[in-house]
Homo-oligomer: A and B are copies of this chain.
Amino acid sequence: MNLSVAEENYIKSIYKLEESQESVTTTGLAYELDTKPASVTDMAKKLKEKKLIDYEKYQGINLTSEGKKAALHIIRRHRLWECFLVEKLAFSWEEVHELAEELEHVRSEKLINRLSEFLGNPTIDPHGDPIPDAQGKMGKQRTQVSLDQARARRLEVTAVSDKSTALLEFLTAKGIRLGSQLEIIERYEFDNSIEIKIRNQPAFTISEQVSKNIMVRPL
């Protein structure tokens, strides 16, 4: 199956939305891809034709198993390039997403498998997300919840959902990275902000918007 860059981006976004939400809507996908609903409808017809999605007028969009397989291959490429950029070229985690968005569209099984090998077949990327293997199989996500819903008091950061430079720069500035050990000091019901503390540094407060995007596991 030969996909255009545009088609690959649609498949990837549909996968991403399916992962978090229940249903993928025309408007939601348009928002995710920074395009217009009319464009999404057009592309939906094409992807249905290629049997990558199930789609009926007004009924929303779902990846077929073939679509899912395609998505996992794209995600594999994306995450392996992110690893390369961070580990070999010393980029920081907030810089790699945009670059990987471009590199992921170079379609060569051999290239990507060699790259994986070169990197020691990593299983998680710089944002804590699992990397599908050559067959598209993804290691179980470690049981993790977002920080705003965590029940334990002492937690370890396992991943970050939002890959925007803005969030990642903020986290870096606050000293939060993968593996950071946090202690919840206080939860403020008014705006759902949380006061947290890392090691023996002074405590600070983060908004709900931020805590929703930090994935953690109890320590």
Residues of A within 8 A of B (CB): 85, 88-91, 95, 99, 102-103, 106-108, 110-111, 114-115, 118
Contact = CB atoms under 8 A, between A and B. Distances in A.
Contacts of A85: 111
A99 B109 CA distance: 11
Nearest to A117: B89
A91 B114 CA distance: 9
A106 B111 contact: no
A89 B114 contact: yes
A95 to B, nearest CB: 8
> Quick one: copies of this chain in the complex?
2
A89 B109 CA distance: 13
Contacts of A88: 118
A106 B104 CA distance: 10
B103 A99 contact: no
A103 B103 CA distance: 7
A90 B118 CA distance: 9
Nearest to A115: B89
Nearest to A5: B5
The 7 closest A-B pairs by CB, nearest first: A89-B114, A102-B106, A89-B118, A99-B111, A103-B106, A88-B118, A99-B108
A165 to B, nearest CB: 14
A102 B111 CA distance: 12
B106 A99 contact: yes
